[in-house]
């Protein structure tokens, strides 16, 4: 489970450090990489175990992975056309930290997304 890890990692980086297993798989196929879906899942799991990668959940329950530590951002998504803008979440980081502290939580992460209609829609 070692030859594929770096390849999966590379894809995650290029993807902006934010993708589901299925997406990683599709991306790798598109780039001509030869890898099986099973291996993608296994690599992602081992990367998570090694705390190199973080796992979150989309609204629909699909697991999404991202490099941890790497500057993370949030999304502003258009309900109409699906356009997505990466935005800063400084306020959120602080909020998350404060709240976690107040309730004694450790190893804290968070998700946040804004959605609405973009100017064009």
Partner DNA sequence: ATGGAAATGAAAATCATTTTCATTTGTGCT
Partner DNA sequence: AGCACAAATGAAAATGATTTTCATTTCCAT
What part of residues 49-78 is at the interface with a second copy (CB under 8 A)?
57, 59, 61-63, 76, 78
3-state SS, one letter per residue, for 31-51: CCCCCCHHHHHHHHHHHHHCC
The entry of a second copy, DNA, none near residue 36 (CB within 5 to 8 angstroms by kind) is: DNA
Q: Which does 114 bind (CB under 5 to 8 A by kind): a second copy, DNA, none?
A: a second copy
* Residue 110 touches which member of a second copy, DNA, none, C-beta under 5-8 Å by kind: a second copy
Of 38, 109, 112, 27, residue with least CA distance to 9: 27
């Amino acid at each position: 489970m070692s030859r594929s890890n770096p390849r999966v990692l590379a894809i995650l980086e290029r993807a902006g450090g934010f993708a589901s297993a299925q997406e990683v798989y599709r991306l790798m196929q598109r780039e001509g990489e030869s890898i099986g879906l099973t291996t993608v899942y296994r690599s992602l799991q081992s990367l998570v175990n090694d705390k190199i990668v973080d796992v979150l959940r989309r609204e629909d329950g699909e697991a999404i992975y991202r490099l941890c530590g790497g500057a993370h951002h949030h999304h502003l998504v258009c309900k109409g056309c699906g356009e997505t803008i990466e935005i800063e979440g400084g306020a959120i980081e602080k909020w998350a930290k404060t709240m976690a502290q107040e309730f004694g939580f450790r190893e804290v992460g968070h998700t946040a997304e804004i959605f609405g209609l973009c100017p064009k829609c």
